[in-house]
Amino acid sequence: MEAHTVAVLNSADDVIAALRDALDEAGFRVVTAHVSEIQSGTLDLVAFVETYDPQVIVYDLPRPIERHWNFLRLVRSARCLRDRCWVLTTIDKAAVEAVIVPGVMSEIVLGEPRTLDHVVDAVRQCLTARIAV
Domain spans of the chain? 5-132
Pick the CATH number of 5-132 from 3.30.750.24, 3.40.50.2300, 1.10.287.130, 3.30.365.10: 3.40.50.2300
Distance CA 16, CA 32 (A): 7
Q: Confidence class of residue 106 from pLDDT cuts 50, 70 and 90? A: low
User: What's the pLDDT at 104?
Assistant: 53
Distance CA 109, CA 107 (A): 6
- The string of pLDDT tens digits covering residues 50-96 is 999 999 999 998 888 888 888 888 888 899 998 888 999 988 888 88
